[in-house]
Amino acid sequence: MGHRMSVFGDSRGCSNISEFNESNNISYVYSDLSHCPSRIRSLRYVHEYLDSCVLFVRDKKSWQDGRANCRRLGGDLVMVKDASKQSFLLNYLRLDHWDTDNIWIGATDQSREGDWRWVDGSKISYSQFADGQGNNHNNGFLFANGGNEDCALIRRDDGGHWHDYPCKPILGAFGYTYSYACEFRKI
């Protein structure tokens, strides 16, 4: 069985310390959150990554609504532009005992089918799309055809590979809602 101890911020939200011990593997993580936007510093699942702060949100929303929430907070959905950031996200999902398998990220081909871009408009050069996902398929899941699957998520139950799903509900309130990660520039 694993052991976990966490300290998530002083009165100013300036520290984030995690310890994780599972099968004699120990990880210590310290994040100085003082350079994160003040509105997110004291939230529980905030971690720093290089020049950004990442907020993991357990609340399940469509890609579109998750992105809107990130933007209301002053950020956007997380952009996974290299293997290091992919590992960072998967490691923190494990350390934080994330209980859902899927998490929205900021990749989309809504503007032009097959032209995958990050929410900042930059072209995707690094990806972890699973076989049959992204630009690699023509048919969709359940009621969606491949042309309606324009937003990406990380599927932990598929080894962290990315899958594309519809960005918004497709039949009234029926749709795809998952947790998501927001990214913010450090201040």
What pLDDT, in 10s, does the model give residues 58-111? 999 999 999 999 999 999 999 999 999 999 999 999 888 787 789 999 999 999
In a domain, 7, yes or no: no
pLDDT score recorded for residue 136: 58
* Its pTM surpasses 0.75: yes
Which residues form the domain of 80?
Answer: 55-185
**Would you state the pLDDT for residue 9?**
36
Establish if 49 belongs to a structural domain: no
* Number of neighbours of residue 99 by Cβ within 10 angstroms: 8
Task: Quote the pLDDT of residue 10.
Answer: 35
Task: List the one residue out of 88, 98, 107, 27 whose CA is nearest residue 60.
Answer: 98
The C-alpha atoms of residue 15 and residue 7 are separated, in whole angstroms, by 8
How many Cβ atoms sit within 10 Å of the Cβ of residue 57? Answer: 19
The structure tokens listed for 156 are: 């932990």
Tell whether 128 is covered by a domain.
yes
Whether 6 is in a domain gets the answer no
- The 10s digit of each residue's pLDDT in 151-180 is 999 999 999 999 999 998 777 667 799 999
Number of domains in the chain: 1
SS3 8: coil
CATH number at residue 168: 3.10.100.10
pLDDT of 113-143, one tens digit each? 999 999 999 999 999 999 989 875 544 444 4
**Is 14 within a domain?**
no
Q: Region 30-56: what's the mean pLDDT?
A: 93
Query: Which pLDDT score, from 0 to 100, does residue 139 have?
Result: 47
**Any domain includes 77:** yes
| Helices within the chain (DSSP H only) | 38-41, 63-72, 83-95
